[in-house]
Amino acid sequence: MAMIVHKHLIIRAEVEKPPVDVEFTKDWMRSLVQKIGMKICAGPISAYVDVPGNRGVTAVTIIETSHIAMHVWDEPDPALLQLDVYTCGPFDPSVIFQEIEQFVPVKISWKYLDREHDLVEIPVD
């Protein structure tokens, strides 16, 4: 039986080249799930919201151990990308930071939490 670990990575990134295509975003999600060693249960589902002030792509994937959600606002310069990776299985958060590099981040803020018994911040090298 696999050990449940309750890890949660929350990323806020200001990016120069945000994803704007729903099919590209779904492919990116599928690839990310594979690279962190997880299994897709449903999705990815992706949509583009075309409402002034809230334009951008949103994607979610249900993974065997929880979920991954990404929201992008492409109107600001730089664009804003928010990524949420919650899993009850172990993963290497550095893989996720590497995958975000293709969006050319100019600023990244993040929290990596152990949610097993509380919300304990974990350092990422």
- How many other CB atoms are there within 10 angstroms of residue 41's CB atom? 13
Structure confidence at residue 62 (pLDDT): 96
| Integer Cα distance of 73 and 109 in angstroms | 16
What predicted TM-score, i.e. pTM, was given to this entire model? 0.88
pLDDT at 71: 97
Which sequence spans correspond to the domains of the chain? 7-121
The arithmetic mean of pLDDT across residues 4-13, rounded, is: 88
8 Å CB contact between 36 and 97: no
Class of domain 7-121: alpha beta
For the chain, the average pLDDT equals 91
Assess whether pLDDT exceeds 60 at residue 28: yes
The average pLDDT across 32-38 equals 94
Asked if the model's pLDDT at residue 19 lies above 90, the reply is yes
Residue pair 40/26 in contact (Cβ under 8 Å)? The answer is no
